Structure 1
């Protein structure tokens, strides 16, 4: 089996590549310019030399079609595109083109290639907007509240339309928040963990955040790439909500992180209204029952386990791996 991972250099791409290699796949991974990409996530997992990395521009149909024809994968995982909700307010056009346009190019390429292929598209819980107290399922209507969520919603419906219209084996995983030490600092979870580690080391004293009352379902990234693989190896193509089923506030996340480092979060946290988003989602809540029953998938870590793992990794990094 051969897999093509679009966006192999990110958190999910790296963990997915590791999983597929363990399952005996040949893995080809794309980046916009593979000659300049550092692929730090792949290097940190010790798998960079086991992957063929290539250049592919997701917003260029010719580039996409050429890649799919040349490498003839059995499975394609679309994990590429602009990945920051906050940045999407500053770069809405790039966000829409890289996510919705890129997904459309891949789907069109699948139609042009005369061989069976299975396609996974990375969806997002951001599409649901505020779920309130009603956990989102696969039938919950989308109410996107950011350019990122609008782009992901568009891509989701493109996948569903192509599946129904052309009989493609195409799935979308509507993933809720999932974290790991491979996340960059611009993600709030890593900002919290790494700042707490620096405070504990005496390197700084303050953590600045925006709205800490928001509530999210946080899971462990390696669990979520396992769900992606299960979707493409199911008997039929469908869309699935992937989450732990447990939602906590960002304030809870901050408190638990600071507890891990023996710190009083109240002494170090500063809420900065300039960090509030133009529109935000108060609550993200999920019901992943369909994935549990149909895919046999369940998370191995919940939010408390995730926090402990992130803090442990930050502590080891700050102490030279000891």
Structure 2
């Protein structure tokens, strides 16, 4: 039985990846941070699974990582843990660097020191491209425009370095924006679909957003974790872009979401410059030709379909909460 270690297992990608690996017969180990209150809603449904094991630890604590790698001796490690909110990275730049950049180094060093035969996946990001115009692929010049993007760029290159210096099977997946009903509520796509659900159910009457002209390449997270897994099954360690190749503005995503609920977005969306970033990334559109040709991976959900499935999920979830309160 293959053993996999996932950092960030309680996040969007981590929860979908855990499901995928368990379905494939893996023994899955997840790294979780210690909090006074539990934050495991995305993996609660896996609680009774015999082959799922959770361990306290943190990417900012190298000792915990060394001990965990030695104890588990994983065949595959997926480093999905991060402070992943771009706007927040401007407010917490040092924490972002310590977690997202140095945290990756700590994990790679723990694997190297353990001397185990292990394959490593690093969650890189399209934010590393930043100001470089699209389309962006594996050979595109990086130009990050946030502390988050810069920290992830360090992680990307240190993964390449450990691959070349120590002959580790280490790869980076440069994933463009990928969303789902499990996306955090502070991210713009989920903020939009939750706003639509709130307006549809009469809880509120408006939604406040920032830059409506930003262009992103939005795909479905559940499909993207399949690409992560495929990268570690290939014979040679290589880096890959995962993307749909289709650019969509925030405005268009909002139109899709509101229209699906029978609403006109212009009647409900308000603009607030406070939601703008200090330095903006205008357009990210990926070219995933390499992943399609080498890994046989391709997405099947576009931004419109994504907005619709997220709206449906949020209306259902919020509707249950409203009904529960009314019953109480």
- In the superposition, the TM-score normalised over structure 1's length comes to 0.96
Structure 1 unaligned residues grouped into runs of 5+: none
Q: Which residue of 2 aligns with 1:201?
A: 201
What is the CA–CA distance in structure 1 between the aligned matches of 2:235 and 2:36, rounded to whole Å? 38
1:146, 1:279 within 8 Å by CA — same for their partners in 2? yes
What is the CA–CA distance in structure 2 between the aligned matches of 1:49 and 1:58, rounded to whole Å? 26
What is the CA–CA distance in structure 1 between the aligned matches of 2:318 and 2:8, rounded to whole Å? 28
What is the CA–CA distance in structure 2 between the aligned matches of 1:36 and 1:56, rounded to whole Å? 15
* 1:158-169 alignment, distance < 5 Å: 158-169=158-169
1:5, 1:28 within 8 Å by CA — same for their partners in 2? yes
C-alpha RMSD of the superposition: 1.4
Q: Which residue of 1 aligns with 2:219?
A: 219
What is the CA–CA distance in structure 2 between the aligned matches of 1:228 and 1:182, rounded to whole Å? 18
2:132, 2:143 within 8 Å by CA — same for their partners in 1? no
Which secondary structure does the structure 2 equivalent of 1:170 belong to?
A: strand
Which secondary structure does the structure 1 equivalent of 2:48 belong to?
A: helix
Deviations 1:76-123 (A, max 9, x none): 000012110010000000000001111001111111112210000100
1:34, 1:54 within 8 Å by CA — same for their partners in 2? no
Deviations 1:112-166 (A, max 9, x none): 112210000100000001343x310101011000000000000000000110111
Q: Which residue of 1 aligns with 2:272?
A: 272
What is the CA–CA distance in structure 2 between the aligned matches of 1:48 and 1:141, rounded to whole Å? 43
Structure 2 unaligned residues grouped into runs of 5+: 324-328
Q: Which residue of 2 aligns with 1:38?
A: 39
Q: Which residue of 2 aligns with 1:311?
A: 311
What is the CA–CA distance in structure 1 between the aligned matches of 2:60 and 2:317, rounded to whole Å? 36
Displacement, 1:36?
4.5
Deviations 1:43-91 (A, max 9, x none): 1xx2123221111121222111100000111100000121100100000
Q: Does 1:151 align with 2:151?
A: yes
Displacement, 1:304?
1.4
Q: Which residue of 2 aligns with 1:58?
A: 59
Q: Which residue of 1 aligns with 2:47?
A: 48
